Amino acid sequence: MIRQSLLVVNNLGLHARAAAKLVRLASSFASEIYLSREDASQQIDSKSILGVLMLAAKKGTRLVVSVEGHDEAEAVEAIRRLFESRFGEEM
Amino acid sequence: MPDHGSLRVREFVTDTSLGLDLEILQSKGLDNEIRSPRIQKLGMALAGFTTYIHPDRIQIVGSSELNYLKELTPDGRTSAIQRLKRFRICCIVVTKGLDPPKELAEFCARQEIPILRTRALSSLSTSKMTRWLENRLAPRATVHGVLVEVFGLGVLIIGPSGIGKSECALELILRGHRLVTDDSVEITRRGLDRLLGTGGKILRHHMELRGLGIINIKDIFGISATAVFQPVDFAVRLERWNSEVEYDRLGIDQSTMELLGVPIPLIVMPVAPGRNLAALVEVAARIHMLRQRGYNPAKELEELT
């Protein structure tokens, strides 16, 4: 299992469209991918849009992603890149 | 129970759902932790018997305690209160709208024990606080799945994402059953063997359906298609049909899964074309009801042959 901390850096936070992108990306991997806020214990399935929206992550929120499965390394890397690319949001 | 959580007194005072209209008489120590849902009366401890004092419980001071203190001489009062000194009591609640003696207030300010007051009687306060604390401190878990009420039974549908849990729930709603929550079910254990499920506050009664997006069941089907809380009676795990796995053909043996230490009946339901999941879940609920009344169709057949 890989755990990695992620910072929401885009201005709008994990809003609906960003969440949809994340869910689409997560669903393309076979691994189980869970997300939680760093300040709460509740874990959500990142392949579920409702779960991701429930995180109510704003700009500056720190999340922890836990990935387990045979493609876990690729999954973590892809998710990290999506967060860094601000979910395609324009500056 | 050892797996109880904890909460700060601050949260206890500010949650209006408690319904005791608490006022803060002494505010030092509001970050103390309450770690037990049980309530204690401070009477015995003030009278000198401190063996059973549980500092992590809320301590009630009612008219018997206050009248006892009032009858003592000022010195006696002080020494009675000083008996509490070696315990780190989390919080004191004065009931009946009474005024605590100033010695107690001063002692609590020094020891950082918050004093709260309610107009309610001790008996009502105790029952309301216990109920609220049992809920708040109950062992809890979040399960990825859907909780539906089918014929009054709580059915927890679990399985990997994309298997059709929401679609199954939707079909059940169309058949007149009720959605408690889609996607993430918050489960708390009440007592030793009861599991209560509910949805998160933010996303209650929302559902995601691939191709349609996010919908609100309450808006589309009305309030009667939803429920807020529901005890969990059994679980259905949806799985992709795997020809290597032997699925239950008889229904004589019942498998279970464990949630917060409580075993609940589990039905493993393979998903394949032509299988109407909602109908199967509905029948599973009917079977569960029959089983609870001691009836088992497969066993009956076995006895006949």
Domain boundary among B89, B118, B137: B137
Question: Is B144 labeled as catalytic in the residue annotation?
Answer: yes
**B135: which residues sit within 8 A by CB, 6+ positions away?**
B188, B190
Contact A43 B182 (CB under 8 A): no
CA dihedral sign of residues B154, B155, B157, B158? positive
- Domain-located, residue B2: no
- Domain-located, residue B197: yes
Judgement on whether residues B19 and B94 belong to the same structural domain of the protein: yes
- Domain-located, residue B1: no
CATH at B119: 3.40.1390.20
Judgement on whether residues B147 and B283 belong to the same structural domain of the protein: yes
User: What's the pLDDT at B2?
Assistant: 39
- The residues facing B240 across adjacent strands are B271
- Given the residues B201, B249, B253, B293, select the one marked as catalytic: B249
Judgement on whether residues B144 and B133 belong to the same structural domain of the protein: no
Q: Which of B165, B203, B204 should be substituted to probe chain A, the one whose Cβ sees the most A Cβ atoms within 10 Å?
A: B203
Calpha distance A71→B143 (Å, rounded)? 24
Q: Which of B3, B140, B142 should be substituted to probe chain A, the one whose Cβ sees the most A Cβ atoms within 10 Å?
A: B142
A8 to chain B, closest Cα gap in Å: 20
Calpha distance B48→B67 (Å, rounded)? 16
Q: Detail the DSSP E strand segments found in chain B.
A: 7-8, 23-26, 33-34, 39-41, 58-61, 91-94, 115-117, 140-150, 153-158, 178-181, 184-190, 194-198, 206-209, 213-216, 229-231, 234-240, 255-259, 262-271
Side by side, the strands of the sheet bearing A32-37 are: A2-7, A62-68, A32-37, A43-45
Q: Which of B123, B110, B56 is nearest to B78 (CA)?
A: B110
Domain boundary among B137, B161, B193: B137
Question: Is B110 labeled as catalytic in the residue annotation?
Answer: no
**B301 and B192 in contact (C-beta within 8 Å)?**
no
Question: Is B299 labeled as catalytic in the residue annotation?
Answer: no
- Domain-located, residue B239: yes
Least CB-CB distance to A48: which of B183, B200, B202?
B183
A86 to chain B, closest Cα gap in Å: 22
B77 is written with which tokens?
A: 């009062």
Task: Give residue A34's pLDDT band: very low, low, confident or very high (50, 70, 90).
Answer: very high
β-strands B234-240, B153-158 pairing: parallel
Judgement on whether residues B149 and B125 belong to the same structural domain of the protein: no
Judgement on whether residues B156 and B186 belong to the same structural domain of the protein: yes
Judgement on whether residues B291 and B275 belong to the same structural domain of the protein: yes
Q: Around Cβ B212, how many Cβ atoms within 10 Å?
A: 10
Domains in chain A: ranges and CATH: 2-88 (3.30.1340.10)
Q: Which of B180, B198, B208, B240 should be substituted to probe chain A, the one whose Cβ sees the most A Cβ atoms within 10 Å?
A: B208
Domain boundary among B122, B137, B152: B137
Number of domains in chain B: 2
A54 to chain B, closest Cα gap in Å: 7
User: What's the pLDDT at B1?
Assistant: 36
Q: pTM value?
A: 0.75
Contact A47 B161 (CB under 8 A): yes
Side by side, the strands of the sheet bearing B91-94 are: B23-26, B115-117, B91-94, B58-61, B39-41
Judgement on whether residues B250 and B189 belong to the same structural domain of the protein: yes
Judgement on whether residues B144 and B261 belong to the same structural domain of the protein: yes
- Given the residues B110, B131, B144, B240, select the one marked as catalytic: B144
- How many Cβ contacts (< 8 angstroms) between chains A and B? 40
Judgement on whether residues B196 and B127 belong to the same structural domain of the protein: no
Judgement on whether residues B26 and B87 belong to the same structural domain of the protein: yes
Judgement on whether residues B132 and B149 belong to the same structural domain of the protein: no
DSSP helix/strand/coil, B168 = helix
A3 to chain B, closest Cα gap in Å: 19
User: What's the pLDDT at A91?
Assistant: 61
pLDDT at A86 over 80: yes
Q: Calculate what percentage of chain A has a pLDDT beyond 70.
A: 99
Q: Note the Cα B54 to chain centre separation in Å.
A: 23
**B60 and B125 in contact (C-beta within 8 Å)?**
yes
Judgement on whether residues B84 and B190 belong to the same structural domain of the protein: no
φ and ψ at residue A39, rounded to 5 degrees = -95, 10
- Given the residues B4, B183, B189, B206, select the one marked as catalytic: B183
DSSP helix/strand/coil, B229 = strand
Per-residue DSSP letter, A85: T
Least CB-CB distance to B161: which of A43, A45, A54?
A45
Range of the domain at B207: 140-304
- Domain-located, residue B150: yes
Q: Which helix (H) or strand (E) holds A33?
A: strand A32-37
**Residues of A with CB below 8 A from B161's CB?**
27, 45, 47-48
Question: Is B249 labeled as catalytic in the residue annotation?
Answer: yes
Contact A50 B161 (CB under 8 A): no
User: What's the pLDDT at A23?
Assistant: 92
A51 to chain B, closest Cα gap in Å: 7
B102 is written with which tokens?
A: 């100033």
> pLDDT truncated to tens, each residue of chain B (305 aa)?
335 678 999 999 998 889 999 999 999 999 999 999 899 999 999 998 988 899 999 999 999 999 999 999 999 999 999 989 888 999 999 999 999 999 999 999 999 999 999 999 999 999 999 999 988 888 888 898 999 999 999 999 999 888 999 999 999 999 999 999 998 899 999 888 999 999 877 778 999 888 898 899 999 999 999 999 999 999 999 998 887 877 777 776 788 999 999 999 999 999 988 889 999 999 999 989 988 888 877 777 878 77
Longest Cα–Cα distance of chain A, Å, equals: 35
Calpha distance B157→B234 (Å, rounded)? 9
- Domain-located, residue B207: yes
**B144 and B183 in contact (C-beta within 8 Å)?**
yes
Contact B208 A44 (CB under 8 A): no
